[in-house]
Amino acid sequence: MIPKPHGGKLVNRVVTGEKRDRLVLEAEELPVLSISYERAVDVVDIAHGVFSPLEGFMVQSDYLSVLHDMRLSNDLPWTIPVVLDVDPDEISGIKEGDYVALKHGETIVAVVRIDEIYGWDKREYAEHIYKTLDLRHPGVAKTMKRKELLVGGLVDLLNEIEYPVKHRVLWPIETRVLFREKKWERIVAFQTRNVPHLGHEYVQKAALTFADGLLIHPLIGWKKPGDYRDEVIFMAYEALIKHYYPRDTVVLAGLLMNMHYAGPREAVHHAIVRKNFGCTHIIIGRDHAGVGNYYAPYEAWTIFNEFPDLGITPLFIREAFYCKKCGGMVNEKVCPHGEEHRIRISGTAIRDMLRRGKTPPEYVMRPEVARAVIEAGNPFIE
């Protein structure tokens, strides 16, 4: 059965029709807060129900509860704060109860009703969310650059923002209708930001063995230099699905959402979001959403012990490698052979080969996938 959205109701704060026409006119007269692309992405995610049950940016009680207890103030699991930061100067003269327009570039994206203005301790945030104050952690570095105050309040989306592969992004209400049309009841989500190698395929097919369908759900949005371009990830997966997956078992759709590199907390966040998309299960990697050595091995798995009431089941499938003795992709649970027989797949090595236009060995990457990536021209963000 397709699970209920987190908190019971799928949020929809996208304003349409006459109400939108009226709000667009009113917004032109409102005080304006300029927001970054990342905050605009948060606004769009809130409005389309990706972050259900959140209907806006968090007020202080929810923020502190999430920070300290990994739950909203109503006790619902939630691990990553969704907050709007502002400068004191920007917000001077604005009081609780006022409405403001959120502008990204030249576009008024949304209107927010200011429910609360409050301070935050960015170091406390980093320590709880990222478990480090090290500025080399990309999440910590971003946090420290954020503004000094937070505002909480309901969001009304007036205009969509621009983002890559827009025609491949589906929102929760759309995947829910899609899964129902397909008559899928057990749906496994797979989070990715990479082109697929055989290790990914192994993990996905292990999960698909007991499920009705697989949602391959690449994160779309900001990427760092050297990452695969969004378009290339889609081309690579399309090649894989066409040649190696049974018909009608996979949905490939993009998810416009910010990446935090918050490791275990973000693993739970990814699970909650995929529940909103209608998934019953999610594959969680050993170092899911990790970066560097900030999180202990398997921490992204053990954190789920604290959330028996999550409403989506994490699947802890071990990392796959090629075993020369077994003659195929296996994992530690099913392969009895020693390390000398095992070939571990290195994402860095694959990138280097593809960058030079070379096809990785077939036990690492399907030739059709490699061809799609190489033929894309420059597959990486400059």
Give residues in contact with another protein (CB under 8 A).
1-5, 8-10, 74, 167-168, 170, 173-174, 176-178, 180-182, 251, 253, 305-309, 311
CB of 321 to another protein, least distance (A): 33
Annotated catalytic residue within 159, 194, 258, 331: 194
Report in angstroms the alpha-carbon separations of 58 from 102, 113, 115, 330: 16, 12, 9, 43
d(CA 216, CA 238): 11
Identity of the residue, 12 or 132, whose beta carbon is nearer to another protein in the bound complex = 12
CB of 304 to another protein, least distance (A): 10
Annotated catalytic residue within 113, 186, 193, 371: 193
With a CB cutoff of 8 Å and minimum separation 6, the contacts of 299 are 263, 264
CB of 2 to another protein, least distance (A): 6
Identity of the residue, 100 or 273, whose beta carbon is nearer to another protein in the bound complex = 273
Q: Is omega for the bond preceding 367 within 30 degrees of 0, making it cis?
A: no
Report in angstroms the alpha-carbon separations of 204 from 13, 272, 351, 372: 33, 19, 21, 20
Identity of the residue, 5 or 153, whose beta carbon is nearer to another protein in the bound complex = 5
CA proximity to 291, closest of 270, 317, 263: 263
CB of 143 to another protein, least distance (A): 30
Residue 336 phi, psi (nearest 5) = -90, 0
Please say whether the beta carbons of 82 and 151 come within 8 A.
no
Report in angstroms the alpha-carbon separations of 255 from 147, 192, 199, 217, 246: 26, 10, 22, 6, 23
CA proximity to 38, closest of 147, 125, 128, 123: 147
180 classed as catalytic: no
Identity of the residue, 194 or 313, whose beta carbon is nearer to another protein in the bound complex = 313
Q: Please provide the DSSP assignment of 205-252 as one string.
A: HHHHTTSSEEEEEEEES---TTSBPHHHHHHHHHHHHHHHS-TTSEEE
193 classed as catalytic: yes
Identity of the residue, 170 or 257, whose beta carbon is nearer to another protein in the bound complex = 170
d(CA 27, CA 185): 42
H/E stretch holding 17 reads helix 17-27
Identity of the residue, 198 or 251, whose beta carbon is nearer to another protein in the bound complex = 251
CB of 45 to another protein, least distance (A): 16
CB of 38 to another protein, least distance (A): 26
Catalytic residues: 193-194
